[in-house]
A and B are shown apart, each in its own frame.
Chain A
Amino acid sequence: MRNQSNDVILRMENIVKCYGSLIANDNVSLHLNRGEILAVIGENGAGKTTLMKVLYGLEHPDKGDIYLNEKKIQIHNAAQAIANGIGMVQQHFMLFDPFTVTENIVYGKEPKKGLFFDLKKANQTISELSRKFDLPLNPTTKIQGMPVGLRQRVEILKVLYQNADIIVFDEPTAVLTPQEVHELLNTMKRLAEAGKSIIIVTHKLNEVMEVADRAMVMRLGKHVAYRNIADTSIEELSFLMVGRHLVETEIPEISPGKDILRITDLCLTRDGAVPILDHISIHVNAGEIVGIAGVSGNGQSDLVQCIFGLQKADSGQILVNGKNVFNCPVKEVRHSGMAMIPEDRFIWGSAAQASIAETAIMGHYEKPSFSKKGFLNIRTIREFAGKLVKEFSVKADSIAQKTSSLSGGNAQKLIVAREIRQNTPILIACEPTRGIDIGAIQFVHDCLVEKRSEGAAVLLVSSELSEILKLSDRIYVIYEGKINGEFKRGNVSEEELGLLMVGSKKL
Chain B
Amino acid sequence: MNSGTLRKISHFLAPISQPFIAIFLALVVGAIAIIVTGESPFNIYKIMVKGAFGSEYYLLTTLTRATPIIITGLGAAICWSSNYMGIGGEGQMIMGGFLCAVIGFHFPGPQWLKLTCAIIFSLIGSGLYSLFSAWLLDKFKMSLAISTLMLNYAGAYIAMHFVQNVFLDTTGDAKLVQTQMIDESIRLPRIVEGQKLHWGFGIAVLLVILVWFMMNRTVFGYESRMSGFNIHFCDYGGINSKKIMYGMLTLSGVICGLAGVIEVLGVNYRYTHNTYVSASYAWIGLNAALISGYNPIGIFFTSIILAGISTGGAAIARATSVPLEISTIIQGCITLFISARIAIQFRRRSRKLASPAKDGGSSGDILIPETKGEILR
Contacts and interface: CB of A to CB of B under 8 A. Distances in A.
Nearest to B366: A92
A348 B364 contact: no
B222 A358 contact: yes
Contact of B217 (A94, A334, A376): A376
Interface residues of A, number: 67
A310 B241 CA distance: 12
Interface string B272-283: 000000000000
Interface string A289-315: 000000011000100000010100000
Q: Which of A347, A363, A365 has the most CB of B within 10 A?
A: A347
A329 B238 contact: yes
A172 interface: yes
A452 interface: no
A366 to B, nearest CB: 7
30 contacts: A20-B3, A56-B367, A58-B368, A58-B369, A91-B362, A91-B366, A92-B355, A92-B360, A92-B364, A96-B351, A97-B356, A143-B354, A170-B365, A174-B361, A296-B359, A308-B236, A310-B236, A329-B238, A331-B238, A331-B239, A342-B236, A346-B366, A348-B236, A351-B229, A353-B230, A353-B371, A358-B225, A371-B219, A408-B363, A431-B363
A345 interface: yes
B229 A352 contact: yes
Interface in A343-363: 343-354, 358, 361-363
Contacts of B368: 58, 90, 92-94
A376 B226 contact: no
Contacts of B183: none
Interface in B65-118: none
**Interface size grouping (class) on chain B:** 35 or more
B363 A434 contact: yes
A174 B362 CA distance: 9
Contacts of B359: 147-148, 175, 296-297
Contacts of B222: 358, 361, 365, 376
B358 interface: yes
Given A92-B355, A95-B354, A174 B371 contact: no
B235 interface: yes
A91 B7 CA distance: 33
Q: Summarize A's interface: helix, strand, loop or mixed.
A: loop
B46 interface: no
A143 B362 CA distance: 18
A14 interface: no
Interface in A325-349: 329-331, 333-334, 340, 342-349
Given A344-B362, A347-B232, 10 more contacts: A58-B368, A90-B368, A91-B364, A170-B365, A172-B364, A329-B240, A351-B230, A352-B230, A354-B226, A376-B217
Contacts of B353: 97
Interface of B: 3-4, 7, 11, 217-220, 222, 225-226, 229-230, 232-233, 235-240, 351-371
Nearest to A332: B238
A330 B226 contact: no
Contacts of A88: 367
A151 B361 CA distance: 13
Interface string A128-149: 0000000000000001000110
B364 A175 contact: yes
Contacts of A151: 355, 360
Q: Which of B217, B236, B352, B357 has the most CB of A within 10 A?
A: B236
Interface of A: 20-21, 49, 52-53, 56, 58, 88, 90-97, 143, 147-148, 151, 170-172, 174-175, 296-297, 301, 308, 310, 329-331, 333-334, 340, 342-354, 358, 361-363, 365-366, 371, 374-376, 378, 400, 404, 407-408, 431, 434-435
A334 B236 CA distance: 10
Contacts of B225: 354, 358
A330 B237 contact: yes
B361 A53 contact: no
List the 9 shortest-distance A-B pairs measured between CB atoms, nearest first.
A351-B229, A435-B363, A331-B238, A174-B363, A171-B364, A344-B361, A351-B230, A362-B237, A148-B360
Contacts of B232: 347-348
A354 B371 CA distance: 12
B355 A407 contact: no
Contacts of B7: 20-21
A350 B233 contact: yes
A120 B242 CA distance: 47
A56 B54 CA distance: 51
A347 B226 contact: no
A375 B361 CA distance: 34
Given A93-B354, A174-B361, A351 B226 contact: yes
Contacts of A361: 222
A362 B360 contact: no
Contacts of B217: 375-376, 378
Given A94-B368, A358-B222, A175 B355 contact: no
A348 B360 contact: no
A507 B351 CA distance: 46
A376 B362 CA distance: 31
B244 to A, nearest CB: 13
B219 A93 contact: no
A254 B281 CA distance: 69
A347 B354 contact: no
B229 A354 contact: yes
Contact of B361 (A52, A56, A94, A431): A431
Nearest to B357: A347
A93 B368 CA distance: 8
Nearest to B223: A365
B235 A344 contact: no
A147 B358 CA distance: 10
Nearest to A398: B7
A172 B363 CA distance: 9
Given A95-B355, A351-B230, A365-B219, A346 B367 contact: no
A352 B362 CA distance: 12
Nearest to B372: A402
Contacts of B361: 174-175, 343-347, 431, 434-435
A354 B215 CA distance: 13
A334 B235 CA distance: 12
Given A374-B220, A375-B217, A376-B219, A49 B365 contact: yes
Contacts of B240: 329, 331
